């Protein structure tokens, strides 16, 4: 980002000299290719080659600039490889207070206050801006000893989690969490481990963009 180059597609977001397009546009372009939203050009003229690989195959016209699906895939792959890696270690905790301590150790730096001890606050931390990665920066999380955490955060821990939630939730939400508590007691539905994994990997409406590697 230090070079201050501008995305060829949107003309607004900055890129580095390693990229033609910003990450947001690459994701949009990939979706356009997959859903055939972009016109395919059949012109054989050399000047109409893909700007990246020079291939004729499956290149498309975007604002008079020709690119192909190979280019979009390579750009996206490179962005994925450039994610900042943050490692959490399941051997360092066996309950939720310990999990939040690990999150604070690995995702924050230089704070004069402690992060909230709840899953909403955890989602906020994933968005960035707490001293380790910038707000909105994409990250790759590696969860070591994930098998241990899967056991630690099974249905027993899930029951305790919902009991704690019920102690502080708004009265209008009690029925929802009481139902989830009953389900957990009957070993039905998501475990606490699965809930945490879903929070990390759900980039749709969460405000963050994380990948997760579970290392047993």
Q: For position 130, what pLDDT does the model report? A: 94
In degrees and rounded to multiples of 5, residue 86 shows phi and psi of -125, 130
Alpha-carbon span 83 to 159, nearest angstrom: 35
Other beta carbons less than 10 A from residue 13's beta carbon = 15
Residue 143 and residue 90 in contact, taking contact as beta carbons nearer than 8 Å: yes
Which pLDDT does position 54 carry in this prediction? 53
Which CATH code fits 84-154+191-215? 3.30.370.10
pLDDT value, residue 1: 35
Query: So what's the pLDDT on residue 29?
Result: 72
Average pLDDT, the chain: 81
Q: Quick check: 43 pLDDT over 50?
A: no
Flag whether pLDDT at 46 surpasses 60.
no
Structure confidence at residue 48 (pLDDT): 47
Higher-confidence position of 147 and 81: 147
Which DSSP helix (H) or strand (E) runs through 68? strand 65-68
> For residue 2, what pLDDT is reported?
38
> Buried (b) or exposed (e) across 79-95, using 16+ Cβ within 10 A?
beeebeebebbbeebee
* Higher-scoring residue by pLDDT: 128, 18: 128
**pLDDT(60) > 70:** no
Q: Where are the domains of the chain?
A: 5-81, 84-154+191-215
pLDDT at 47: 42
User: Could you read off the pLDDT of 61-95 as tens digits, one per residue?
Assistant: 455 555 666 777 777 777 666 788 999 999 999 99
Mean pLDDT, residues 151-170? 96
| 3 pLDDT higher than 70 | no
Residue 186 has pLDDT above 70, yes or no: yes
C-alpha to C-alpha distance for 17 and 73, rounded to whole angstroms: 18
Helix (H) or strand (E) holding 167: helix 155-168
């Amino acid at each position: 980002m230090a070079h201050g180059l501008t995305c060829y597609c949107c003309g607004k977001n900055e890129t580095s000299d390693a990229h033609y397009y910003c990450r947001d546009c690459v994701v949009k372009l990939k979706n356009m290719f997959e859903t055939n939203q972009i016109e395919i050009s059949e012109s054989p003229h050399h000047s109409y080659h893909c700007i990246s690989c020079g291939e004729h195959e499956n290149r498309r016209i975007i604002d008079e600039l020709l690119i192909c699906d190979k280019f979009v895939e390579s750009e996206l792959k490179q962005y994925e490889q450039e994610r900042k890696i943050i490692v959490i270690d399941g051997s360092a905790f066996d309950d939720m207070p310990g999990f939040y301590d690990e999150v604070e150790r690995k995702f924050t730096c230089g704070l004069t206050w402690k992060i909230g001890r709840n899953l909403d606050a955890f989602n906020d931390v994933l968005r960035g801006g707490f001293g380790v990665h910038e707000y909105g920066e994409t990250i790759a999380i590696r969860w070591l000893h994930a098998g241990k955490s899967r056991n630690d955060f099974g249905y027993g821990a899930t029951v305790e989690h919902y009991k704690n939630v019920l102690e502080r939730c708004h009265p209008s939400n009690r029925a929802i969490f009481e139902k989830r508590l009953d389900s957990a007691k009957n070993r039905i539905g998501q475990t606490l481990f699965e809930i945490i994994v879903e929070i990390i990997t759900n980039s749709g409406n969460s405000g963050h963009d994380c990948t997760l590697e579970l290392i047993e």
